[in-house]
Structure 1
């Protein structure tokens, strides 16, 4: 699962709204990447710095884009040889407070759609999943 999340180049293949990605730098412990997201005719580019501690954590820090802040953290804990527990946390803030209030009502739905996309990708790559994903928005 760590590899699935760390494979940013593949995001346009399965994540909703991700139009394109570009990895500027990638090493075993660090990555800098751009992500172009879009909905209908709207397009925005985000740049993030990713800290990777294999196989336990991936921490994504916002560098540049249309928001004021957007960080997310992934923690992976092996349950046995074939299963793991994943804790995923997203923290964001819009530059425009009015837009943040308007978009807030859709965030939980968007979050669930993204989680479902990761689950479907995991099932496609690794087989059956037994997800118990929960949103604590």
Structure 2
């Protein structure tokens, strides 16, 4: 069964700052609960491919995404490799002023089989659900 997660937040930071923070996925293990590793596989001018490693309560999963970059407005995410039948998402940043923006994040996914969904479903849903709040806290720490 396909799941959809949508989150949004109003922040006192620019679209450029928030885009840079999302694009700095290699720092995710420092502040995103459940993310234990991140590695860049390929980087070009307007896209990248990266692998994220998630772990919690003895359950480990990793997946590779292709991220299309449209700074500072958006980043589209699609699956390259991982335990999913389908996987797509997007970060959008809408300027409200020079130093404020609205952050929107959505993610749709379906695991490749019921066993994987049972084992890793809660872990992945928790990490995906907490991404926006963790990102906002990180922005407040970095951009004070």
Q: Tell me the TM-score normalized by structure 1.
A: 0.81
Q: Tell me the TM-score normalized by structure 2.
A: 0.77
State the Cα RMSD in Å.
2.3
Aligned to 2:110: 93
1:79 aligns to what SS in structure 2? strand
Mind listing any 5+ residue stretches in structure 2 that lack a counterpart? Answer: 1-17
Aligned to 1:81: 98
Task: Note the C-alpha offset of 1:67.
Answer: 1.8
Q: Taking structure 1 as reference, are residues 42 and 109 closer, same or farther at Cα in structure 2, changes over 3 Å only?
A: closer
* Aligned residues of 2:34 and 2:123 also touching (Cα < 8 A): no
Task: Note the C-alpha offset of 1:33.
Answer: 0.4
Mind listing any 5+ residue stretches in structure 1 that lack a counterpart? Answer: 128-137
Q: Taking structure 1 as reference, are residues 32 and 94 closer, same or farther at Cα in structure 2, changes over 3 Å only?
A: same
User: 1:75-96: CA deviations, max 9, x gaps?
Assistant: 1111111001111111101122
Q: 1:58 aligns with which of 75, 96, 108?
A: 75
Higher relative contact order structure (alpha carbons within 8 Å, sequence separation ≥ 6): 2
Aligned to 2:85: 68
Q: 1:6 aligns with which of 1, 14, 23?
A: 23
- In the TM superposition, what are the counterparts of 1:110-129 in structure 2 within 5 Å? 110-127=127-144
Q: Which one has a larger percent strand, Structure 1 or Structure 2?
A: 2
Aligned to 1:49: 66
Distance 2:41 2:115 in 1: 33
Matched, 1:29 2:46: yes
1:5 aligns to what SS in structure 2? helix
Distance 1:20 1:94 in 2: 21
Aligned to 1:17: 34
Distance 2:125 2:83 in 1: 20
Task: Note the C-alpha offset of 1:106.
Answer: 8.1
Distance 1:60 1:37 in 2: 17
